[in-house]
Amino acid sequence: MVVAGRRYYSGRDVDRAVTIADLQAMARRRLPAFVMEYLEGGAEDEWTLRRNREVFSEIEFRPSTLTGVGIPDLSTTIFGRKMRLPFIVAPTGFNGLFQYQGDRLLAEAAAKAGVTFTQSTVSNMRIEELSGIPNLSHWMQLYVFRSQAFMDELVGRAEKAGCQALMVTTDAATFGNREWDRRNYRSGMDPAFRHKLDILCHPRWALSVMARGIPPFGNLLDFLPADQQTFARTAIWSREQVEPDLHWTHIRRLRKIWKKPLIVKGVMTLRDAELAADAGADGIVISNHGGRQLDGAPSPITILPKIAGKLKGRITILADSGFRRGTDIVKALALGADAVMTGRATLYGLAAGGEAGATRAITVLEEEIRRTMALLGCRSVADLDRDHIKF
């Protein structure tokens, strides 16, 4: 129900953001429409994008009372490492489009909050530029490319930089059809005339990002001649070089050369979760790529109970896509996830206010998780189970 006079805060003070939706409203005010479309849009009719959010309204809580909760402990352990909070910043590419040096700002916010940050292959900064951030728990996401030399070098760089886990994205061998995003451009990456005019209406963003030039994808630069190391050229190269014939053999090969935790992202069936475990993966991410790839795919949280019921304890189970509230994260934990990955939620904070905005997004989620667990009567993440929800 919409009540007259109600609206989300959309000013500049990130500390006034009460929810992720407030940070989303702030981001919409600051970013040009074509940039916001890149952040928020999905594939084709966006059925999956909508379903990712709608499904949470079908899950009810079953609270226990008089349990002497006190202040709930939100920590959990993933791959033998204690995590202060049960969520991880998901890998997202092109963060430099939202803020100058967006990858660094997001990673610094995560490090200060004690949250793991996952860097994308197509981040705008090199692995080495982020690895020195104090107290950063640093994971690296990997797209599988045709060039074995590139793959070996990137994995080697991640190892040398001290990355603690490698996450292989498997659902993007074919690029999703993001129709609304495509309508924003005349050709290639050249925005339509109306969007060029719209940039003039967003001077804070233009001075932060456009004035410095659109940043290229830092991890790809070494494989391009010096005169082709532009954003447009690196974007084209990455699309041309993604391996279309992706198979479990690629996972098994990576398992041989990467000795730390290996995670397969893009799992959507129990059978594939079992194959990931058989191939030597330490973890999986149940994911539909935030509704940006196959439209018509189900929400990961509907797949989660079946996979957790069979593989919980054998393999680390993560989930992403559609998480905007601490209540969403608690529901996933109760359904068997070991932790959740947040993409757009923390990006809204980044886009709204840089590091401070990303920090505020993390704080909002933390407060919501703690409050929800207290109201459920749960002292710790380990206490959450199917008895606390109806689905």
pLDDT tens-digit profile of 49-93?
999 999 999 999 999 888 878 899 999 999 999 999 999 999 999
Is pLDDT at 1 greater than 60 in this prediction?
no
User: CB of 26 within 8 A of CB of 352?
Assistant: yes
Residues 172 and 294: their CA atoms lie apart, in Å, by 9
Give the containing element (helix H, strand E) for 87. strand 87-89
Residue 207 identity (one-letter amino acid): L
The reply, when asked if residue 116 is annotated as ligand binding, is no
39 token code pair:
């952040």
The reply, when asked if residue 289 is annotated as ligand binding, is yes
Q: Is the dihedral of CA 371, 372, 374, 378 positive or negative?
A: negative
Q: What is the mean pLDDT of residues 115-143?
A: 96
Query: Which sequence positions are flagged as catalytic?
Result: 289
Residues with Cβ within 8 Å of 28's Cβ and at least 6 positions away in sequence, in order, are: 10, 36
Q: pLDDT tens across 262-275, in order?
A: 999 999 999 999 99
Dihedral angle, C-alpha 216, 218, 223, 226, nearest 10 °: 60
The reply, when asked if residue 146 is annotated as ligand binding, is no
Which of these, 238, 279, 262, 272, lies nearest to 143 by C-alpha position? Answer: 238
Q: Is the dihedral of CA 65, 67, 71, 74 positive or negative?
A: negative
Residues 259 and 120: their CA atoms lie apart, in Å, by 19
The reply, when asked if residue 57 is annotated as ligand binding, is no
Q: pLDDT tens across 23-48, in order?
A: 999 999 999 999 999 999 999 999 99
Neighbouring CB atoms inside 10 A of 50's CB total: 14
The CATH class given to the 14-178+239-390 domain equals alpha beta
Q: What predicted TM-score, i.e. pTM, was given to this entire model?
A: 0.95
DSSP per-residue letters across 327-377: HHHHHHHHTT-SEEEESHHHHHHHHHHHHHHHHHHHHHHHHHHHHHHHHHT
